Each structure stands twice: as structure tokens, then as C-alpha cells.
Chains A and B, each alone.
Chain A
Amino acid sequence: MGEIDIDTLRKVFPGAEGEIVAIDDLDITIEDGEFLVLVGPSGCGKSTTLRCIAGLETPSSGTISLDGVDITDRQPKNRNMAMVFQSYALYPHMTARENMSFGLKMTTDLSKGEIDTRVSEAAEMMGIERLLDQKPGEMSGGQQQRVALGRAIVRDPEVFLMDEPLSNLDAKLRTTMRTELQSLQSEFGVTTVYVTHDQTEAMTMGDRIAVLNDGELQQIGTPLECYHEPANQFVAGFIGSPSMNFFETSLSRTGAGARLDHEVFDYLLDQEGTDAVADVSDSVTLGIRPEDIELADGDEPNAFSADVTVTEPLGDVTFVYFEIGGQQVTASIDGDILLSEGSTLDIVFPQNRIHLFDGRTGGALKNREMPTDDELVDVSL
């Protein structure tokens, strides 16, 4: 069991220029066995939240419960949680075996033989049997990472806490470890809270992701929910790579429906879009993901031409950068279409793919259509 309930958690640090609010009234419930990713930019409070759960920071107010028991003021050792640190934090003077058995030695009455058995089992699981008698200084980053994970696993905790554990690895190893961590987690079924600033990690690993900014929860949901139905402009811009393009427009109402006026183009909204902006007075932010921008033949409604400044061919797709009204706009175009820098293209933002945000609050007014159930079934098969 390992259900974590975070209730109106608040953490304030004293700073040179007044107080710094790291976490602002955070409410999250993490189900037993769930893989929750806390994601957000630097300084958004995600690590502080994790450290509060671990007991390494004392919350200013609010409570944290584990399986219905209030653990807010418990010492870390009485929480039965294991943590993997960004720097791994392996004890440099101990061998991998000693590192992994240290927690068991401290917290349990297990005999030396029993501890050895458990360490060997965990080492086998992580594929690090041959490293057991080496010290961290003699291992590569990836090997240290495995030992750090092994140290967490061997404790058999109710909750795994991971603070950017993959950020010190090279890109290839990171991808491998990502899948490995996921399969380990689903194998153990242990509740896991994972902190990262990398939205790709968040999207690929989490059962659910919680997007934080400035200490406040922006949205919590499955990766696809956050991707397709962002709650606000921040989430829309943070989730997805390359980021969503935003255009600040002013709203005018015509007989044919609402129209968004931008410096370079006008965008006439369909009925659904018009309804969505019904309550907004003037400014609306139009959002479109790079992969949703389409090349136009020239006669579609709302199409306009733009100058290509840079192209980045990746093979399967090409990232095309346009200059639209002094702003750089990214489009992801089929890699088979050859484009040259400096050319002018007609592009269009399809009505069913655009996002609309309130220009003042940033709240979502309309999101792109979710993939239909048929499409989802096809994907999962």
C-alpha cells in the first residue's frame, strides 16, 4: 500500500528580499501503485514537493498522509520511502554492496546473511552483480545510477521518490533507463513520485503528470490529457516538443462568426470556436502545435503565406521555422517534402486543431479535438 495524499501543502523559504513561496497550496492525491511525474521549469517547486514527501523539508503548512495516516511531522526514516537523488548520493567510501545494505543495516534487524541475500537479489534485478565490490568512484555514471536504484529497491519501500535521476546520463542511456525504470516500477507496483524538468520523460513515463509552475499546480492528468487538453497556456507551451506556437490576437465579431485579427493574418473561427470565445471581450491567444500546421494549396479559408527562415531536416520530419509578424513560428512538416530556406509557403491552421486561450488569464477556451476512440484503440493494439 502506498497512497499519498497531499493536502493544501505550502512551503515558504525566507529569502533576502522577503519570503519565497516554493509551494503554494498544493493538493494532489497519488493512488497506490501509481507513477506520478512532477514536471515543471526550474524553481517551480517540484523538488521541494518531493523533499516534503520524503521528510527532508518541513512544510510551512498543510499535511501529507500515507495510507490515511498523517506523516507530515515524521522523520524520513519513519516513512518507509526510498529516494533516488539526482547526484545519486552514493557513499563514496563504501562498495556498491555496502551502499545497498546500509539502509537495511540501519532500519531492520535482519541478519547479515539475510541482508546479503536481499542485496544480491536486487543486484541481479539491476544487472549489477559484478559491480558489488566496487566503489562508486570506479563506476561509470550509468553504473552508479543502477546502484542508486538498487539501493532504493533493496529497501522494499512503500514509495519510491526520484529526483531527476536520469538528468546526469547521456541521451542514449537516458532513453534505455527510462524504459527500464518504467518496467521496474510496473513490476513492483510501488507508488512512485518522479521529478523531472524534461517533458519528454514526463510524457513517456508517467501514469499521470502534474505540471507545476511558480509553486502552483497547473494541471494534473494523463500525459495525453495534458497534451491534447491543456488547462492553460502554460501547460500547452510546456508539454509537447517543439513547443506550441502562440499568437496574440484581438477578437472582433462579424456576421459570419468571431474573427481573430493578428498583425499578419485574420482567422475566421467556425461555430465551435465562436461559441468558445463568446464570453471573452477582446484579446484571445491562438495556439497551434508545430505538427498541426499544414501546407495549404492557397484556396483554403484562413490560409496565409509566410517566409521560411530556417529548416531542420530530421529525416522523418522537417522542422520549419517561419517568421510571422516578428515572431518565430515552428512547424513540423513531413520529411519527404523538400523545402528551401528563404522560400515563401502558404500555410493553414486547421480549425479542429487550434487551441484558444483567454488573452488575459491564459485559461483554455477551446482545445483541439481529442483523437476519437477508434483512433485510440488502433494505437493501443
Chain B
Amino acid sequence: MATSSGTGSRYAAEFKSFVKETWLGYAFMLPASVLLGLIVIYPTLRGVHISFFEMSLLQPGQETFVAFQNFAAMASDPKFWNAFGNSILLTGVAVALQYLLGLGLALALKEKVPGVALFRSASMITWVLPVVVMVIIFRFMVQPGYGFLNIVLGWFNLPTSYWFGDPTTAFPLVVTMHVWRNVPFFAIALMAAMQSIPESLYEAAEMDGAGSLAKFRYVTLPQISYVSMIMIVLHVIYTFNNFDIVFLSTGGGPLGSTEVLATYVYKQAFQSYALGYAASVGVVMLVLLLAFTVVYVKLEDTE
């Protein structure tokens, strides 16, 4: 049995070390928290704040509180709705294609065929290529006269054109660039998930009478669902927010056919100088993405 004074000093020592260690912990967290606050939390809150004001880059320091007027203006702005629709279409089509093609590529790369290791590394090239370089390659390929695509079409006497300049083909080309860029990343992530599935599960399924399709449906798919969710959420956010691919290739044109919310926000803020309006469009994007993420994570949980 410890004496009362012994017990007391034990508690005192524990309290001391607790306080000491806790404060040390806070001290370690402080720099990161301050940094995060400065570069993430403040701009976000400031952006939301601006969306309720009328502000122009031409008159710095002049802020007029307009409540929800920016949002009301948005509702009757056809250019906004065009960009909104394009953003959703681009995100939906591009991510769906990326996932399906990535899944197919993952299944192919998983096979133990000679030379597959080289192919695995090579397939990552599109993903590590800088966006600017990728866009230049694509623009070059569709140049009339000397672009590779048009040369090939010329061989078959098919119509050639500057495809980025055509309102009907520009949007599919933007989708293609997104897909081309991200399919390998999907493939590598899904393949890693597939490789972590124990072989014995497939053997058990085989003993249970499952064919190749059933094995894919009942063993592979459920086992990669978590990685699939992460990849889809990440890429929906990435594609929805993406600015550089669209801006560098078409700048949102021709005739707004490839305008997405990200380029529209940029144009409103830095070409029309309507900071408040741009911020309110940004808030709409933020809310949409938050809603999407919440719904998807909830769905995944109930699976």
C-alpha cells in the first residue's frame, strides 16, 4: 500500500508530465495549424464572405453588401448555366470513362504476361506529363495540314479540320484529354487493390463453382470498392475543379462550347473584374462538391 503522501506526489508528477506533454503536443501542432489557417481556412471563408458583396478589381477597397443578389443574378445568367451543364457533363463522362477504361487496363496489367512490367511503367507516362505539354501535343495532333490526326484522316479522304476550333468536336476532345491523362492512374490504383486480394478467395470461389465473370462480380469488384470510391471522389473533384486543361486548349470556346465553371469563374474575376460574382460561383462549386462527397461516402458505407 502506498502512503497518502506517496500517492499525492505520484498524482502531482503525473499531472505535471501530462501538462508538460500536452503543451508540447500543442506546440508541435501550432506551426502546421497556423499555416493551414492562413492558406486554407482564411481564403475559403474570405471567398464565401466576398460572395455576398459587390466587388470589383477596378475599385479596390469598395465593397457593397448585396446579400444574395449575386446568386440571384447567377440563376438568370445563361452563360453560368451553360458552364454549369458543361462542368457536370465533363465530370460525369470523363470520370465514368476513366473508371471503366482504368478497370479494363488494370485487369490486363494484372495478367502475368511477359513484358507487362515495362508496359506498366510506360502506361504511367500520360499521368506524369505536365498538363501544358499534353495540351500542346493534342493541339499539335489536330493541326490542319501537318497534325498527325488530320494526316491520318487525309489518307482515308476523310474531312480534316482544326478540331479544337469546331464547337461540336472541341468538347469531346477535352473529355478525351481528361481520360487520356487519368486512365493509367485509375489502372495502377485499381491494380494495386486487386493484387491485395488473397488468391485463396479466388480459389474458394472456384471451388464454389464460380466462373470468371462471377469471380469478378463477387470477389474482385467488392474488394476494390473502397479504392474505387477514393479514386472516383478524387477525380470528380479534380475534373470538376479543373481549369488548366480547358483553359490551355480552348479557353472555354469556341462559342462557350467548352466553358466550365472553373474557367467561367476566372473570366468573371479577372476579365470582367466582377470579384463578388466570381466568388459566388465558386461557392456554388464548393457546395456541389461537398454534397457529392457526402452522398458518395454515405452510399459506400451502406454497401
Contacts and interface: CB of A to CB of B under 8 A. Distances in A.
A92 B223 contact: yes
B208 A85 contact: no
Given A85-B200, A106-B214, A91 B207 contact: no
A209 interface: no
A298 B218 CA distance: 72
B209 interface: yes
A89 B198 contact: yes
Contacts of A54: 203, 207
Contacts of A92: 223
B204 interface: yes
Nearest to A102: B208
A106 B223 contact: no
A103 B210 CA distance: 8
B200 to A, nearest CB: 4
B163 to A, nearest CB: 44
A253 interface: no
Interface stretch (A76-84, A114-122, A230-238): A76-84
B223 A83 contact: no
A130 interface: no
A352 interface: no
Interface in B202-236: 203-211, 214, 218-219, 222-223, 225
Contact of B207 (A77, A87, A90): A77
Contacts of A172: none
Contacts of B200: 85-87, 89
A93 interface: yes
A184 interface: no
A364 B140 CA distance: 82
A89 B206 CA distance: 12
A77 B222 contact: no
Nearest to A79: B207
Contacts of B214: 106
Identify which of B201, B209, B210 gathers the most chain A CB atoms within 10 Å of its CB: B209
Identify which of B207, B219, B225 gathers the most chain A CB atoms within 10 Å of its CB: B207
A91 B201 contact: yes
A89 B223 contact: no
Contact of B209 (A85, A89, A91, A103): A103
B223 to A, nearest CB: 7
A173 interface: no
A87 B219 CA distance: 16
B209 A83 contact: no
A210 to B, nearest CB: 22
Interface residues of A, number: 24
Interface in A134-155: 151, 155
Nearest to B215: A106
Interface in B182-210: 198, 200-201, 203-210
Interface size class of B (residues with CB under 8 A): 10 to 19
Given A85-B200, A87-B198, A93 B207 contact: no
Interface string B123-166: 00000000000000000000000000000000000000000000
Contacts of B211: 77
Contacts of A102: 205, 208, 210, 218
Contacts of A55: 206
Contacts of A89: 198, 200-201, 203-204
A85 B210 CA distance: 17
Interface in A103-126: 103, 106-107
Given A56-B203, A89-B200, A77 B210 contact: yes
Contacts of B203: 54, 56, 76, 83, 85, 89
Contacts of A86: 200
A107 B209 contact: yes
A347 B206 CA distance: 57
Contacts of A151: 208
Nearest to A85: B200
A329 B252 CA distance: 87
A91 B210 contact: no
A107 B201 CA distance: 17
Contacts of B218: 91, 102
B215 to A, nearest CB: 10
A155 B209 CA distance: 11
B209 A106 contact: yes
Given A89-B201, A102-B218, A81 B223 contact: no
B222 A83 contact: no
B182 to A, nearest CB: 27
A86 B200 CA distance: 9
A56 B206 contact: yes
A122 B18 CA distance: 55
Contacts of A91: 201, 204-205, 218-219, 222
B222 A93 contact: yes
Nearest to B208: A103
Contact of B208 (A56, A75, A93, A107): A107
B204 A106 contact: no
Contacts of A83: 203-204, 207
B13 to A, nearest CB: 40
Contacts of A56: 203, 206-207
B196 to A, nearest CB: 11
A93 B220 CA distance: 11
Interface string A155-171: 10000000000000000
B222 A82 contact: no
Nearest to B222: A93
Interface string B90-120: 0000000000000000000000000000000
Interface of B: 198, 200-201, 203-211, 214, 218-219, 222-223, 225
16 contacts: A54-B203, A56-B206, A75-B206, A85-B200, A85-B203, A87-B198, A89-B198, A89-B201, A89-B204, A91-B201, A91-B219, A102-B210, A106-B208, A106-B209, A107-B208, A151-B208
Interface of A: 54-56, 75-77, 81-83, 85-87, 89-94, 102-103, 106-107, 151, 155
What are the 4 closest A-B residue pairs judged by CB atoms, nearest first?
A: A107-B209, A103-B208, A77-B209, A106-B209
